[in-house]
């Protein structure tokens, strides 16, 4: 209180206002000293020994009751009616309020800055987690695709390899079969037996080899499996036809003996 009044008196303009305020302060101080003296005198009274605690409580209750009544009937007192003093006091209060508000504003700004930084970090964390989730989903999709695609690619590659092997094997097999047939079953027109049987009359058509007969029935079976029979004509040498039928390589049509087909060895 003394410091506050000292600051006010140092900043107050007129000297009369300063003296008036000092006089009021001294008057209030004297009143406070008198009240304190009375309280000291009341505190030194001898209390009865019978119930000391109850007596103290009763005295405190009376003092509080009196103080409460005084506060109820008391009106707020103005320290001074001097406008210069009131102006300086108002300025000081406004300055204090301004300082407090500035401190509060600084604290709020600092807190807001911290919240913004926390929000920025949370957003960065959210973006990182989102990118990680997207990466995981893409990786999972890629793995699922890779599980399907490599399998298909491997199967296609294996199929192509098998087809190449089969074509090579087919070519080798046909070459071997052709060589075997050319060696052991030559063209009917070049055989000695055919030359002995050939007398005066020449055949109307050129005979085909056993190899050509087999090619015809094989091609027929492959191209039209639903109708694999071929018709025997004059170009087919009968001994070769009998050979195929006897060893079960070819079969006759059940209703037309002039038609034959290759045995379905692949079934």
Helix, strand, coil shares, percent, the chain, to 5: 75, 5, 25
Start-to-end C-alpha separation, the chain: 120
State residue 19's pLDDT score. Answer: 75
Q: What distance in Å separates the CA atoms of residue 81 and residue 242, rounded to the nearest whole number?
A: 150
Q: What distance in Å separates the CA atoms of residue 260 and residue 244, rounded to the nearest whole number?
A: 10
The answer to whether residues 207 and 187 touch, using CB atoms and an 8 Å cutoff, is yes
Residue 84 vs residue 169, higher pLDDT: 169
Q: What letters, b where the CB count within 10 A reaches 16 and e where it falls short, cover 100-118? A: eeeeeeeeeeeeeeeeeee
If you average pLDDT over residues 251-267, what whole number do you get? 86
The answer to whether residues 21 and 80 touch, using CB atoms and an 8 Å cutoff, is yes
Strands of the chain (E only): list them.
Answer: 230-231, 250-252, 259-262
Query: Quick count: other Cβ atoms within 10 Å of Cβ 244?
Result: 20
The dihedral over CA atoms of 40, 46, 49, 53, expressed in degrees to the nearest 10, equals -20
What's the pLDDT tens digit per position in 13-42? 555 666 777 787 788 888 888 877 777 776
Query: Which range scores top for mean pLDDT: 8-12, 52-56, 69-73, 251-255?
Result: 251-255
Give alpha helix (H) positions in 47-82: 52-73
> Which residues on neighbouring strands pair with residue 262, listed in sequence order?
250
6's tokens: 């000292």
What's the pLDDT tens digit per position in 176-233? 888 888 888 888 876 555 555 554 455 567 888 888 998 899 888 888 888 999 999 9
> Which residues on neighbouring strands pair with residue 230, listed in sequence order?
260
99 has a pLDDT exceeding 90: yes
Question: How far does Cα 234 stand from its chain's mean position?
Answer: 79
80 has a pLDDT exceeding 60: yes
The average confidence (pLDDT) of the chain is 79
Indicate yes or no: pTM above 0.85: no
Instruction: Return the SS3 of 199.
Output: coil
- Supply the angle between the helices 83-184 and 15-43 in degrees, to the nearest 10: 90
Query: What confidence category does residue 104 fall into, taking pLDDT thresholds of 50, 70 and 90?
Result: very high
State residue 261's pLDDT score. Answer: 92
CA distances (Å), 267 to each of 101, 196, 221, 264, in order? 101, 42, 12, 6
């Amino acid at each position: 209180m003394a410091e506050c009044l000292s600051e006010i008196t140092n900043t107050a303009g007129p000297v009369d206002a300063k003296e008036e305020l000092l006089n009021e302060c001294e008057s209030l101080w004297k009143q406070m000293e008198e009240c304190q003296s009375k309280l000291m005198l009341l505190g030194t009274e001898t209390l009865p020994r019978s119930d000391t605690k109850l007596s103290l409580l009763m005295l405190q209750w009376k003092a509080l009751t009196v103080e409460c009544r005084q506060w109820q009937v008391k009106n707020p007192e103005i320290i001074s009616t001097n406008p210069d003093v009131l102006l300086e006091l108002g300025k000081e209060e406004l300055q204090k309020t301004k300082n407090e508000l500035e401190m509060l504003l600084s604290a709020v700004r600092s807190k807001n800055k911290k919240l913004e930084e926390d929000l920025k970090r949370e957003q960065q964390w959210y973006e990182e987690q989102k990118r990680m989730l997207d990466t995981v989903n893409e990786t999972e999709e890629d793995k699922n695709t890779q599980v399907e695609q490599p399998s298909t690619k491997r199967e296609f590659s294996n199929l192509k390899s098998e087809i190449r092997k089969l074509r090579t094997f087919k070519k080798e097999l046909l070459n071997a079969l052709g060589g075997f047939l050319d060696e052991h079953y030559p063209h009917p027109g070049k055989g000695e037996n055919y030359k002995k049987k050939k007398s005066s009359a020449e055949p109307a058509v050129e005979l085909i080899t056993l190899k050509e007969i087999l090619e015809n029935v094989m091609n027929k079976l492959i191209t039209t499996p639903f109708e694999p029979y071929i018709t025997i004509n004059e170009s087919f040498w009968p001994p070769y036809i009998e050979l195929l039928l006897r060893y079960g390589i070819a079969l006759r049509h059940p209703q037309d003996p002039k038609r034959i087909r290759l045995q379905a060895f692949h079934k």
